[in-house]
Copies of this chain bind each other. A is one copy, B any other.
Amino acid sequence: MIMKDNIQPTQGELEILQILWKKGPSTVREVNELLNQDQEKSIGYTTTLKIMQIMFEKNLLSRNDSQRTHVYLAEVREGNIQSALLDRFLNAAYKGSASKLAMHLLGNHETTPDELAEIKALIDKLEKNKPS
């Protein structure tokens, strides 16, 4: 049985994953430029390189090194990582009370009518599947 539970990318790793999830396979330079353009941060090229190399060793990323310039690819799924992080966050900050988190979430953040409808539809579905 392959254990894949201990995935917990760091903050910096997560930012790089976000870019790869959105853009698909990318070079270190491309990732570094996006990191620097997004915010006002200024991250050196070799810093980004180093982190991506570490992520490669951790199997968070794979890479095609048939060319001189390596092309990196996210090896983990966005949804999987999000769920894993959510789980940790839920326990750390809300002691596992999903509904309390949901209340804060809906109360504090703008949500479009479509999104609200979508969530309500999911709740209806959950209520039907588990009427006991």
Binding site for B on A (CB under 8 A): 11, 14-15, 18, 79, 81-83, 85-87, 89-90, 92-95, 98-113, 115-116, 118-120, 122-123, 126-127, 130
Interface of A is mostly: helix
In the bound assembly, the distance between CA atoms of A99 and B15 in angstroms comes to 20
In the bound assembly, the distance between CA atoms of A109 and B9 in angstroms comes to 22
In the bound assembly, the distance between CA atoms of A130 and B117 in angstroms comes to 13
Are the CB atoms of B86 and A11 closer together than 8 Å? Answer: no
In the bound assembly, the distance between CA atoms of A18 and B81 in angstroms comes to 25
With A82-B104, A83-B104 in contact, is A93–B127 under 8 Å at CB?
A: no
Are the CB atoms of B93 and A122 closer together than 8 Å? Answer: no
With A99-B111, A116-B127 in contact, is A86–B93 under 8 Å at CB?
A: yes
